Amino acid sequence: MKKNNEFNDLKKSFLEYKKKAGNINYIACFGKTFLDKDSQEYKLAKDVSELIIKNGFGVIHGGYTGIMEASSLGADRAIKKDKEKNKYWNIGVPMIVFDKELERSSEINLPPAKDISDRKKALIEFCDICVVLPSGGFGTILEALEIFHTNQLAEKFGGKIRPLVFIGGNWKKIFNSLYRNLDMNKQKNGESFVYFIKSLKELDGILSILRKKDE
């Protein structure tokens, strides 16, 4: 019961922030935690989140370093250019144990999650679309696979489907390998909700299509 109450507090805070942002839809950005700020992946994450904001979506992310920090910076950069947007368009999802070692990257954060399960659940449940950046490790692939499987269940039994956008060729190679080596009998392979792309231009096109579907 206590754990449920803690997650409900996260959800309550998110819904309050969402209302202050204008009840927009949010896109979760996933990727590597430790990343060189001079890297192409870091720059790309900033450009991706800026593009997300420009397309009328909010950004929600893990709230600390690496891809999370870059996503926050890019979102803030876009927010500052548009008077119709405010700081609640950029939300971090911190966690108690990370607060001991890492600095938060966003001004607006949910209450810190008690554990990685609640943090991951919050990022997935509160978003409407998921974008996976090129760099990532086990944590990133676990998040992506959980969203993938949740979408599979939603397709079969009903529920919310969150489009899953992978940027970079490595992700397609990984999933092609999974398709070949896992038993996918009687299971769909995500063709209705998975997008593999290589450029910001492709992402812009997909976000435009998804935005129109919600209108």
List the chain domain ranges. 2-214
The pLDDT value recorded for residue 50 is 98
Helix axes 116-126, 138-157, angle to 10 degrees: 50
- The answer, yes or no, to whether residue 46 has pLDDT greater than 80, is yes
Q: Can you give the pTM of this predicted structure?
A: 0.94
> Average pLDDT, stretch 51-55?
97
Pairwise CA distance, residues 29 & 12, whole Å: 21
**How open is the CA angle 88-90-91, to the nearest 5 degrees?**
85
pLDDT at residue number 54: 97
pLDDT higher than threshold 70 for residue 1: no
- For the chain, the average pLDDT equals 93
Q: DSSP 3-state assignment of 24?
A: coil
Are 39 and 64 in contact by the 8 Å Cβ rule? The answer is no
Contacts of 200 (CB under 8 A, 6+ apart): 44, 47, 48, 51
Determine the average pLDDT of the residues in 29-38. 93
Residues above pLDDT 70, as percent of the chain: 98
**Predicted local confidence at residue 52, as pLDDT:** 98
Averaged over 171-183, what is the pLDDT? 92
Residue pLDDT, tens place only, 133-142 = 998 889 999 9
Domain 2-214 has CATH 3.40.50.450: yes
Predicted confidence band at 124 (pLDDT cuts at 50, 70, 90)?
very high
Decide: 53 and 78 in contact? Cβ < 8 Å: yes
Which residue intervals of the chain are DSSP H helices? Answer: 2-20, 40-54, 67-80, 96-99, 116-126, 138-157, 169-181, 200-214
Residue 117 has pLDDT above 80, yes or no: yes
Averaged pLDDT for residues 109-136: 94
